[in-house]
Amino acid sequence: METRVIRLVKTLAAGAIMVIAVVMVLSLGRRMFESELLALALDRPSSVSIDEVDMWGRRYDGDDIPTGAILHASLNRRMIRLLWPAIQDAVPQLTGYGRVGKDFVSRHAEGSGMTGTEAIGRYGLDEGLITQTAIRFQDAAEGAQDREVTKNVLYAGPEGISEVPAESLGRFGDVLWRPSYDGDVIGLDRWRRAFFRIDFEGRRVDWGPPVQDDSFQPIQIGRIARNDFALNVWWETPSEAHASATQKTGGANETPSGALAVRHHDSPVRLQWETEGVALVLDRSGTIWRLDRAALAVVGKAGEMPFIKPHDLLAYDVRVAVGEGASYQGVVVADVARTGCGIGLFAYDDDGRLLEGEGDAMSPSSRPGGYALLIGKYIVENLYPPVLAAGSFAAGHHCDAIRSLHGVFLVPNSVFGWRGRTFVERSSLKARFFALLVLAPPVGLGAVLGWLVARDAKQRGLASRSRKAWFVTTMMLGLAGYVMWRLVRPGEVMVTCSECGRLRRTELAVCQHCGASWQASAPLAWRVVEG
């Protein structure tokens, strides 16, 4: 005979197994539909251009056509396709926001032949100190066997730089940092709320004034990019565009975007990741600020990601427009939506004003078979347990776009996460009400399955309290709860309890109604029975 404790343990174990099994099967189906939708959306080239951007207002040297540059951004469709199923392997190396402990490596070569040298600079964070490891390889002279290798390590703290990790250097706290093109390290100590610059060559550490705005929450400094290998960003002068069009019209092969990116070297304006005198700082809100590298203070707004915050983007790339004399001219922002099916391009001037923006949304519903895939994905998502659907709705606004791709139990990239983000971002009661309606199908399905389970439980003799518990459990777990009931429900054979007179289950040691055991109790008084 089973006791109530054993029965409860078996039911909970079966429930956990069924929830995991059902969710894993549904997750596999959802990812299959997502992959097919992405492949369908990327079946055509996706690019966006901004024509006649007069960001600099001058003629280009050697150009007969006035006005500004033509900006281009396109999705690297091959990299997106390779990235999607294997993005888990790419996350640690390619999606960081300049986190604590991230290493940066730079190389520099000098000389040629047997007398050349190669220098490698590695930067890291070690127990509150930012380190620079300089390794120099000197090619062996004629007749020598091995190259000469020298290694030098410098430790930088808030109070200075030394060749040993002395206590007098102090220690950085929660620090955001990145080395720049000239070898200096620019960063922000969140504990001190101040920017700093480390000059390893001059052996000095400079600090800027404290940041007074408590809402300022930077997540990236210096090189502003995320998964930028999925984006191609470049610009060309009107004459270059005319030459490209002529080349294509003449039947020549299409020029790769990488070639266009380096073809404007003789023009007065270039797109770079960094520039002298200005460092970019990305805030959690999506605002991009200009940091004066000399004063180590924020001097103004450089631009922004206008519609979507950084954690909602699958990829983005920010380029600095640099004019003659390394002068700062503005920034260009390109981004990819979390689904990988939309790209945006925005140009800002040197005061952070939006000059122009363009976008290209690749709707799979406009392609043959797109609606069928969307409907299939919607059906699979609505079979998720209602409690997990509600969790995805609540977590949709907070989950990172990269981590959302790996969601199994919580699926922020589902229709529930999408409407959850709408609920948070919209202040209209009407918009929030319609956002909440997305939970109606899974909750309704859970209620129907719960009613079926409660009716079957009544026919099998379960007590009223047990029936209510099963109804609530099935309503929360949906299909997983119904399958769990089918596995653990009692058998049909029942007998009359000698104590309370109601039907009791034969597999339990005590009556589920009155708690009486199988051994009949002694009668309280004389009874008259037949023969």
Question: Is 136 contained in some domain?
Answer: no
Is residue 22 situated within a structural domain? yes
Of 326, 361, 396, which one is at a domain's C-terminal end? Answer: 361
Residue 119: per-residue pLDDT: 55
Residues 234 and 90 in one domain: yes
Domain count of the fold of the chain: 3
Whether residues 477 and 354 share a domain: the answer is no
Domain presence at residue 282: yes
10 Å CB burial of residue 376 (0-12, 13-18, 19+) is: middle
Does residue 353 sit in the same domain as residue 368? no
- Return the pLDDT at 253: 38
The answer on 459 and 442 residing in a single domain is yes
Do 456 and 338 share a domain, yes or no? no
Q: Do residue 334 and residue 318 come from a single domain? A: yes
Residue type, 368: P
**pLDDT score at 287:** 92
Two structure tokens written together for 268: 């007065």
Out of 361, 378, 397, a domain closes at 361
Residue 395 within a domain: yes
**What is the pLDDT tens value at each position of the chain, 531 positions in all?**
456 778 788 888 888 888 888 888 988 888 888 777 777 777 766 778 877 665 544 434 444 444 456 778 887 776 666 555 434 333 333 333 333 334 444 444 443 333 444 556 678 888 888 888 877 766 655 555 566 667 788 899 999 998 888 888 889 888 888 888 777 889 999 888 999 999 888 889 999 999 888 888 899 998 898 888 888 888 776 666 555 555 554 444 343 433 333 344 445 677 888 888 889 999 988 899 999 988 999 998 999 988 888 888 888 999 988 877 778 888 999 988 887 777 889 989 888 888 888 887 777 767 777 788 888 888 998 899 999 888 888 887 777 777 777 778 888 878 887 787 777 777 677 777 877 888 889 999 999 999 999 988 887 778 888 889 999 999 999 998 999 888 888 766 678 888 888 877 776 778 878 888 877 555 556 656 565
How many C-beta neighbours within 10 Å does residue 294 have?
11
CA distance 179 to 106: 9
- Residue 312 · residue 397 · CB < 8 Å: no
Please give the torsion angle defined by the CA atoms of residues 72, 75, 79 and 85, in that order, rounded to the nearest 10 degrees: 160
Do 424 and 472 fall within a single domain? Answer: yes
- Separation of alpha carbons 221 and 188, rounded Å: 9
Q: What domain range is 28 assigned to?
A: 7-44+364-489
- Mark whether 307 and 420 lie in a shared domain: no
Indicate whether 292 and 384 sit together in one domain. Answer: no
Domain stops at, among 310, 340, 361:
361
Burial 260-280 (b: 16+ CB within 10 A, else e): bbebbeebbbbbebbbeebbb
Q: Would you say residue 40 lies in a domain?
A: yes
Residue 98 CA neighbour count, 13 Å, CB half: 24
The DSSP secondary-structure symbol of 229 reads: G
In a domain, 200, yes or no: no
Q: Looking at this protein, which amino acid is placed at residue 7?
A: R
Asked if 316 and 247 sit in the same domain, the reply is yes
Do 335 and 249 fall into the same domain? yes
Distance CA(343)–CA(369), nearest Å, equals 22
Q: DSSP readout, 285-312?
A: TSEEEEEETTTTEEEEEEEE-SSS-GGG
Same domain, 91 and 237: yes
* pLDDT at position 63: 45
Does the residue 499 lie in any domain?
yes
CB atoms within 10 A of CB 190: 15
pTM comes to 0.73
Q: What is the DSSP string of 74-106?
A: EE-HHHHHHHTTTHHHHHHHHS-SS-TT--EEE
Q: Identify whether 379 is part of a domain.
A: yes
Of 362, 434, 427, which is closest to residue 393 (Cα–Cα)? 434
